[in-house]
């Protein structure tokens, strides 16, 4: 059973530390990667609440409810203050894809300085989902600054990055190179605004019935705001804004959370999980997870609050529950 906003313990009875995360489904196993924020929250010299980098956590599960801690698969660097992964830097929103061509797991994340002016994408690779991941370095994708990001693998194996650029004034959407380790020449700028505060961040992409959907948040730091969904026939657009996918009480603040990923539920075509973070800026390590069903109605996604829920909410979809394959 999911209990959005509650403390969620792993199979060792420890609170899960995988914030701003994403999920990789690989050979029947779900891997959840996220920011380990298990440290004290303090105000940075830039006046922003932060936790020093601990590393990127990985958890594994076969049912999406019970998660085993696979450890810190990309740890902070302790002894080189200039290193991108030094504890005093920022590493956010890790996402992992499997690259069949190179048989490697490729992780992308936002790398920054404490004042968010470095604004780069970082890439790390491993030959196992559970790591350890080897850091390749960071760069300015498409030659521009990069903050919140996600990556998405299409059915044809081509992968894309969606990232907040130009101080969040645009979302840049770029095709990755065949090895998923860099960006190629093709990209677009979408959701453009001249006002930095009116930009979009926290992108999450999913595909349904041949259409691409992109859910984003507004830019209000750790504070929750309204999500927005857009749809397009191609990741390169044209994007049409559909509006807020959340409905009911607290829809205007995404149920006091900020999206981070949308997961297609294996065995249930057209059913999705919306993954979000309920940030706690006074104690970031105690930020909670808000996972809710995302259901499609005539091509429009809808997310509603459930105090507790399980996969029986999808019962009318006449499909099997995850983990029940072959039973």
Question: Which residues of this chain interact with ligand DGJ, rule CB under 6 A?
Answer: 20, 48, 92-93, 148, 201-202, 221-222, 258
Q: Which residue is nearest to ligand DGJ (CB)?
A: 221
Least Å from the CB of residue 317 to ligand DGJ: 31
Q: Identify which of residues 204 and 235 has a Cβ nearer to ligand DGJ in the complex.
A: 204
Counting other chains too, the contacts that 105-108 makes at CB distance below 8 Å and 24 or more residues apart are 105/24, 105/129, 105/131, 105/133, 106/179, 106/180, 106/181, 107/33, 107/56, 107/74, 107/133, 108/149, 108/151, 108/161
What backbone torsions phi and psi does residue 168 show, to the nearest 5 degrees?
Answer: 70, 10
Least Å from the CB of residue 235 to ligand DGJ: 20
CB 280 within 8 Å of CB 287: yes
Q: Identify which of residues 24 and 51 has a Cβ nearer to ligand DGJ in the complex.
A: 51
Strand 271-278 to 288-297 pairing: antiparallel
Q: Identify which of residues 200 and 295 has a Cβ nearer to ligand DGJ in the complex.
A: 200
List the 149-153 sheet strands across, edge first.
149-153, 159-165, 170-176, 183-190
Strand-pair partners of 69: 59
Rounded to the nearest 10°, the torsion over CA 99, 101, 102, 108 is -30
Q: Identify which of residues 61 and 138 has a Cβ nearer to ligand DGJ in the complex.
A: 138
Q: Identify which of residues 44 and 102 has a Cβ nearer to ligand DGJ in the complex.
A: 44
Least Å from the CB of residue 43 to ligand DGJ: 12
Q: Identify which of residues 167 and 222 has a Cβ nearer to ligand DGJ in the complex.
A: 222
Q: Identify which of residues 99 and 258 has a Cβ nearer to ligand DGJ in the complex.
A: 258
For 247, the token pair is: 């409905």
Running DSSP on this structure, what letter comes out for residue 65? S
Alpha-carbon separation of residue 281 from 42, 217, 227, 288, 295 (angstroms): 9, 17, 19, 11, 30
Least Å from the CB of residue 67 to ligand DGJ: 21
Least Å from the CB of residue 122 to ligand DGJ: 14
Least Å from the CB of residue 279 to ligand DGJ: 7
Q: Which residues, other chains included, contact 13 with Cβ-Cβ below 8 Å and sequence gap of 6+? A: none
Least Å from the CB of residue 232 to ligand DGJ: 22
Least Å from the CB of residue 212 to ligand DGJ: 21
Q: Which residues, other chains included, contact 16 with Cβ-Cβ below 8 Å and sequence gap of 6+? A: 8, 9, 10, 32, 57, 59, 67, 69, 289
Q: Identify which of residues 34 and 323 has a Cβ nearer to ligand DGJ in the complex.
A: 34
């Amino acid at each position: 059973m999911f209990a959005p906003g509650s403390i969620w313990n792993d199979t060792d009875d420890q609170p899960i530390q995988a914030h701003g995360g994403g999920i990789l489904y690989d050979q029947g196993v779900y891997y959840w990667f996220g920011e380990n924020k298990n440290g004290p929250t303090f105000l940075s010299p830039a006046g922003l609440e932060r936790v020093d980098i601990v590393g990127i956590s990985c958890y594994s599960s076969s049912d999406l409810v019970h998660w085993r801690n696979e450890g810190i698969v990309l740890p902070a660097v302790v002894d080189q203050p200039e290193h991108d992964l030094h504890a005093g830097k920022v590493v956010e929103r890790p996402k992992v894809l499997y690259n069949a061509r190179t048989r490697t797991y490729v992780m992308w994340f936002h790398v920054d300085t404490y004042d968010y002016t470095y604004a780069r994408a970082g890439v790390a690779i491993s030959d196992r989902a559970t790591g350890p991941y080897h850091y390749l370095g960071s760069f300015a994708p498409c030659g521009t600054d990069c903050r919140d990001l996600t990556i998405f693998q299409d059915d044809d194996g081509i992968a894309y990055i969606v990232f907040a650029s130009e101080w969040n004034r645009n979302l840049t959407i770029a095709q990755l190179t065949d090895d998923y380790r860099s960006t190629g020449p093709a990209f677009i700028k979408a959701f453009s605004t001249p006002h930095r505060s009116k930009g979009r961040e926290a992108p999450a992409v999913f595909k349904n019935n041949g259409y691409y959907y992109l859910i984003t948040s507004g830019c209000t730091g750790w504070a929750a705001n309204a999500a927005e969904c857009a749809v397009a026939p191609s990741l390169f657009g044209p994007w049409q804004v559909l509006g807020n996918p959340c409905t009911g009480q607290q829809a205007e603040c995404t149920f006091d959370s900020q999206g981070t990923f949308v997961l297609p539920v294996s065995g249930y075509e057209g059913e999705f999980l919306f993954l979000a973070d309920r940030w706690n800026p006074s104690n970031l390590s105690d930020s909670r997870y808000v996972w809710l069903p995302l259901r499609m109605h005539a091509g429009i996604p809808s997310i509603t609050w459930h105090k507790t829920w399980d996969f029986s909410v999808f019962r009318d979809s006449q499909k099997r529950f995850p983990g029940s394959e072959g039973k």
